[in-house]
Amino acid sequence: MFKFIYYLLALGLYLLTIPYLLFKSRSKKYSVAIPSKFFLSNNPPFEENKIWFHSCSQGETTALKPIFDELNNEDINLSVITNTGFAQGLKMTKNIRYLPFEIFLPFWVTKQKVLLVMEAELWYMLFLTAFNKGTKTVLINARINDKSYQTYKRYSFFYKQLFKYVGKIFAQSQTDKIRLESLGAKNIEVIGNIKLASLPKTTKEFIKPDGIIITAGSTHKNEEEIILDAWDKKQGKLFLVPRHPERFDEVFALVDNQYKNSKVSYHRYSQKNNFDSDIVIIDVMGELINIYAISDVVILGGGFIKTAGGHNPIEPAFFNNTIISGEVIFNQKSLFECVNDYYLIKNDELKTYLDDIENLQKSSLGQAGTVEPILKYIKDI
């Protein structure tokens, strides 16, 4: 009865939103995703009896890479929800689809060896249909944060139904295990956060200059102006690391125009290979990890403009930098959830935070995980 009612409600919602979906599909951003997910346009079912992974966005899809690297790519199917997840998935496998809306799943899902679903992608018809087709069903990197737990409990009757069709769960923490069990989940193993399974590694060891080091990492056009307007040499040395190498000259010219008649010293790293100036433009590739290792504060680029959607906070958090980012982190939300103590601020607040550097909390990572138990489970099937 529950399955029947749920399907009718999903069908009713779908019929009501068709005009809106048709309208949104006219935009370039959704011109592929909406027809694929809601009208099955160019979105055929997967080949059968493979290892099917499902994730939502870019961060969750990226976290699957260490698992993919240990498997035969020909054996992998991957479904996603978002455009960014699809773009990332294309870099990892050719067998990728947008997951259709739930009403289509009973007719779209094919029998696979196993279905592994990332984190909170708890689609009832996905698990139900896969289970009924004879596919082993697994929830990986499962988590329920403090804020969401009350909502989960409010709809516990629904999750008790859903977890009937989840055969195995790999959870991030003991707290997550307890919360999942309270919602009816079973067969739970705690393995940590798999997004932290591959931690950053330096390629060389720089000698840290005296004083506070502020690194503006992976900055985009217009972000350097925001940072330079907020920065003062009394706050510490500033390392500017543009995201794109074609902007090295542009960023140096920006600094030169602002400080050429001042007491602020600056240079391009490639010209001196040292950090002796007040501002150093890092105009070489592949050094950002090594720079984070000697930094105290990281102003993370990509979050102060509307288009980039933030950048990876795992690397600076690994080195216990204080992380300051703009509020626009839609591409990196799942990775920020792996970090303790960071600051998301408005663009005009940056100077206030930099003036108060000594009182800001250092960032750190959550519980690092391992993909080995997941790989063993897959190989034992």
130 shares its domain with 232: no
The pLDDT value given to residue 372:
96
What's the N-to-C CA distance of the chain in angstroms?
32
- Using the predicted structure, report yes or no on whether residue 191 has a pLDDT greater than 90: yes
Q: pLDDT-based confidence at 334, cuts 50/70/90?
A: confident
Among the listed ranges 19-23, 69-73, 223-227, 363-367, which one has the minimum average pLDDT value?
363-367
The pLDDT value given to residue 222:
96
Q: pLDDT-based confidence at 330, cuts 50/70/90?
A: confident
Query: Are 259 and 266 contacting, i.e. CB atoms less than 8 angstroms apart?
Result: yes
Higher pLDDT, 261 or 112: 112
219 shares its domain with 274: yes
State the pTM of this model.
0.80
Query: Are 56 and 121 contacting, i.e. CB atoms less than 8 angstroms apart?
Result: yes
Indicate whether 199 belongs to any domain.
no
The pLDDT value given to residue 331:
81
115 shares its domain with 226: no
Kindly write down the DSSP assignment for every residue of 322-356, as one continuous string: EEEEES--TTTHHHHTTEES-EEE-GGGHHHHHHT
229 shares its domain with 348: yes
Q: pLDDT-based confidence at 184, cuts 50/70/90?
A: very high
147 shares its domain with 243: no
Tokens describing residue 371: 């993909």
Indicate whether 208 belongs to any domain.
no
182 shares its domain with 319: no
Task: Tally the domains of the chain.
Answer: 2
The pLDDT value given to residue 160:
97
At 56-65, the pLDDT tens digits run: 988 899 999 9
- Using the predicted structure, report yes or no on whether residue 130 has a pLDDT greater than 90: yes
CA dist., res. 232 & res. 228, Å (int): 8
Mean pLDDT of the 344-362 span: 97
CATH of the domain at 109: 3.40.50.11720
The pLDDT value given to residue 366:
86
CA dist., res. 66 & res. 141, Å (int): 13
Indicate whether 111 belongs to any domain.
yes
At 224-237, the pLDDT tens digits run: 999 999 999 999 99
Indicate whether 201 belongs to any domain.
no
The pLDDT value given to residue 308:
86
Indicate whether 206 belongs to any domain.
no
Indicate whether 202 belongs to any domain.
no
The pLDDT value given to residue 293:
98
Q: pLDDT-based confidence at 253, cuts 50/70/90?
A: very high
Residue 364: how many other CB atoms lie within 10 Å: 15
144 shares its domain with 242: no
Among the listed ranges 4-8, 51-55, 65-69, 367-371, which one has the minimum average pLDDT value?
367-371
175 shares its domain with 276: no
315 shares its domain with 373: no
Query: Are 53 and 92 contacting, i.e. CB atoms less than 8 angstroms apart?
Result: no
- The share of the chain scoring above pLDDT 70, in percent, equals 100
Indicate whether 233 belongs to any domain.
yes
- Using the predicted structure, report yes or no on whether residue 38 has a pLDDT greater than 90: yes
CA dist., res. 341 & res. 361, Å (int): 6
The pairing of beta strand 266-268 with beta strand 279-281: parallel
Tokens describing residue 362: 């250092």
Q: pLDDT-based confidence at 333, cuts 50/70/90?
A: confident
171 shares its domain with 249: no
Strands (E), the chain: 51-54, 76-80, 96-98, 114-118, 136-142, 168-171, 188-190, 213-219, 237-242, 266-268, 279-281, 297-300, 322-326, 339-340, 343-345, 364-365
The pLDDT value given to residue 142:
95
39 shares its domain with 178: yes
Mean pLDDT of the 178-187 span: 97
CA dist., res. 172 & res. 176, Å (int): 6
Domain that holds residue 175: 2-193+369-380
CATH of the domain at 308: 3.40.50.2000
Strand order in the sheet with 96-98: 96-98, 76-80, 51-54, 114-118, 136-142, 168-171, 188-190
Among the listed ranges 70-74, 263-267, 306-310, which one has the minimum average pLDDT value?
306-310
Burial 169-178 (b: 16+ CB within 10 A, else e): bbbbbeebbe
The pLDDT value given to residue 84:
86
Strand order in the sheet with 237-242: 266-268, 279-281, 237-242, 213-219, 297-300, 322-326, 343-345
154 shares its domain with 227: no
At 140-152, the pLDDT tens digits run: 999 998 888 999 9
